[in-house]
Homo-oligomer: A and B are copies of this chain.
Amino acid sequence: MVNNSFRLLQTCPDSRARAGELITPHGSVPTPVFLPVGSQATIKTLTPEELKDIGISIVLANTYHLYLRPGISVIEKMGGLHKFMAWDRAILTDSGGYQVFSLSSLRQVSDEGIIFRSHIDGSKHHITPELIIQFQETLGADIIMVLDECPAHDDSFEKVNRAMNRTHQWAERCQKCQKRSDQALYAIVQGGISPELRRQSAEYLAQLDFPGYAIGGLSLGEPKRKTIAMVEETVALLPENKPRYLMGVGSPEDIIESVDRGVDMFDSALPTRVARNGALFTWQGRHNIQNSAYSQTAEPIVPGCDCYTCRTFSAAYLHHLFNCDELLAYRLATIHNLSFINSLMHKIRSAIINSTFSSFRDNFLSSYKPTDEQKRLNQKQKWLKSHTSSE
Contact = CB atoms under 8 A, between A and B. Distances in A.
A386 to B, nearest CB: 14
Interface string A314-326: 1011011101101
Contact of A70 (B79, B295, B330): B295
A45 B70 CA distance: 24
A84 B320 CA distance: 10
A77 B320 CA distance: 14
B86 A328 contact: no
A296 B326 CA distance: 31
B296 A327 contact: no
A138 to B, nearest CB: 15
Nearest to A311: B86
A69 B324 contact: yes
A384 interface: no
Contacts of A296: 74, 77-78
A46 interface: yes
Contact of A295 (B42, B74, B326): B74
A286 interface: no
A298 interface: yes
A390 interface: yes
Interface residues on A, range: 35 or more
Contacts of A77: 296, 298, 316
A295 B327 CA distance: 25
A308 B47 CA distance: 10
Contacts of A320: 40-41, 69-70, 74
A74 B328 contact: no
Interface in A302-344: 308, 312-314, 316-317, 319-321, 323-324, 326-328, 330-331
A74 B124 CA distance: 54
A44 interface: yes
A327 B86 contact: no
A85 B42 contact: no
Nearest to A68: B324
B316 A74 contact: yes
Nearest to A73: B296
A314 B70 CA distance: 13
Nearest to A326: B42
Contacts of A86: 312-313, 317
B328 A47 contact: yes
A42 B321 contact: yes
Interface of A: 40-42, 44-48, 69-70, 74, 77-79, 84-86, 295-296, 298, 308, 312-314, 316-317, 319-321, 323-324, 326-328, 330-331, 390
- Ranked nearest first, the 10 interchain pairs of A and B with the lowest CB-CB distance are A70-B320, A45-B327, A40-B324, A42-B328, A86-B312, A42-B326, A78-B316, A69-B324, A44-B327, A74-B296
